[in-house]
Structure 1
Amino acid sequence: MRKFVIVLLPLLLSACVDDSASYYADGVGNHALTLRRAQQNFWSDATTVDLIMSRLPDCQRRIRLATMPAGEVEIELFGGRDNNWTLRAGNQVWQVESQTCSQYADNKGEFGEPVGIFRAEGGKFTFQPALVTPPAVPAQGAPQ
């Protein structure tokens, strides 16, 4: 019985959730924003959420964002000019820039255009791009 407990002990202490999702700003992986959620203990629903910024070869950095319930991790991503990014989860807002991999101490208030959302869906952590609505095209014969 003692050997059985010793063999199972690492399983009991291992994390239940440890996954990530990425947004590739350049489409190929040299410039990416990745969110990682990790549950430290199986008995706790809390997960730590980290942002990993990379714009290779110049920058790569991990920033701890928050602690959230595993199933409620939902973070919106907004993009601005000059590699400026805003992440928002409810009333929490983080602003970063991936030119030098830094986080702004104070939020500027400018979010930029919606890029997508990181969320847990069906037990997996995913990034879903924002829906882009095309500009309205006037009907033929309508005054412009």
Structure 2
Amino acid sequence: MRKILIVLTSLLLTACVDDSASYYADGSTGNHALTLHRAQKHFWSSDSKVELIMQRLPDCLRRVELTEMPADEVEIELLSNGDNVWTLRAGKEQWQVETQTCTQYPDVKGSEGELIGVFRVEDKKLVFEAAVLEPAK
């Protein structure tokens, strides 16, 4: 009986989603990064909690809860507003953060900014896909 419970427990845990993807604003050092994390609380739930971890070391490191959405349908655009201000957008929902003082704004201010890329699920894994910027003519 104990062996069956161990096997069943491991099968139930494998159905849960818990992963992240990062955008490195400073290249690849990791000192200035925006990381999107999704976590499925229960294996029977299709929703996952989506959080943003913003860091600009050594001055800023903060976790911000964004929303809950279906684990397989996470797709959030990342836009740069300049001066370490970032907007995240998922459909009609928007969030704006600033990594200079590690702040989340209560409302999105100003223009949406320049599209940097998209956090999305590919092959059941959360990834960051950089936007293709067209050269100026």
Smaller-chain TM-score bracket: over 0.9
- The residue number in structure 2 matching 1:126 is 127
RMSD: 1.4
State the distance in 2 between where 1:55 and 1:10 align. 39
Structure 1: stretches of 5+ with no match in the other structure: 137-144
State the distance in 1 between where 2:97 and 2:122 align. 25
**Which letter does structure 2 place at the counterpart of 1:18?**
D
- The residue number in structure 1 matching 2:101 is 100
Aligned length in residues: 135
Q: Deviations over 1:65-91 (max 9, x none)?
A: 000001110000000121000000000
Within-5 A mapping of 1:1-144: 1=1, 3-8=2-7, 10-11=9-10, 12=12, 16-27=16-27, 28-136=29-137
State the distance in 1 between where 2:53 and 2:80 align. 16
**After TM superposition, which residue ranges in structure 1, 4 or more long, deviate above 4 angstroms?**
none
Higher strand share: 2
Q: Say if 1:15 and 1:40, in contact at 8 Å, map to a contact too.
A: no
TM-score by length of 1: 0.88
Structure 2: stretches of 5+ with no match in the other structure: none
Which structure: larger Rg? 1
- The residue number in structure 2 matching 1:142 is none
